Amino acid sequence: MTSAFLPPSLDLPEDVQAFLVRYVTQIQDDVGQDLGGLLLFGSAVRGDFIVGRSNLNILVIVRSLSVDLLQRAGRLHQQWEKHQIVAPLLMTEGDLVQSGRLFPLESLQMSQHHLVLAGQDPFMTLPIDPMCLAWECEHELMANVLRVRQRFIEGGGRIEAIQALLMLSITAVLPCIRGLFHLLQEPAKGKDIEILEHLPATFQFDSTTFLEVLHIKRGLSSPGSLEWTKVYDRYLQNLGLFLDRVHAMRQEGRL
């Protein structure tokens, strides 16, 4: 059996680290010689992990894929999904290169916030096309605006629906902001709150409402029952204003 370990720099509770080591060790044993790299990415590496709220995201680079390998990964996932471990993302190096072209925003996020647990680091030479990245950032922001409206209608404006859609929305907006910071050659690797606090200086945009929703997501505040619709209204308006700002900067050639 292989022996997985986590570096001291990883800021996770001891119990989370313990079951993550066991999970990673089992993946290494399952994949064997076909393993090219095994990486942890997302909030656990970024420093934004919240026990009971955040998930653990694993990327497994393999030399070849088979149904048998997927079945083994599926059986392993059934054992560990209760520990907030998302089903692993299995990719070949060819898949990763193609994803860098087709999904530059997602690839950038993984490349900026990952930790190699075994094997090689596939992101050392992964190119990200700036034009494709700028387009995807604006595209995702527009899609987010439309989803926030639609989910409000689907939920009938109920408090529970507003809570859910705001959490999902800010989670999707933050990678876009990081991608835009990257394009502007601004620091994009800090914690979520640090990124939002830099919005006014970089985009001349008031990030108060985004910060408000982030604090709600992290359990740091909670509006009263009569305030949720007002929070939603502020957030939707600011999301639209930010999209307009990004579009204008793209038209001006600044992104």
Q: Mean pLDDT per 10-residue run, the chain (255 residues)?
A: 62 86 90 91 89 89 92 90 88 93 94 91 90 96 97 95 96 96 90 93 95 93 91 97 96 91
Q: So what's the pLDDT on residue 1?
A: 43
pLDDT at 121: 92
pLDDT tens readout for residues 164-202 = 999 999 999 999 999 999 999 998 888 899 999 999 999
Taking the C-alpha atoms of residue 52 and residue 54, their distance in angstroms, rounded to an integer, is: 6
Q: How much is the pLDDT for 5?
A: 62
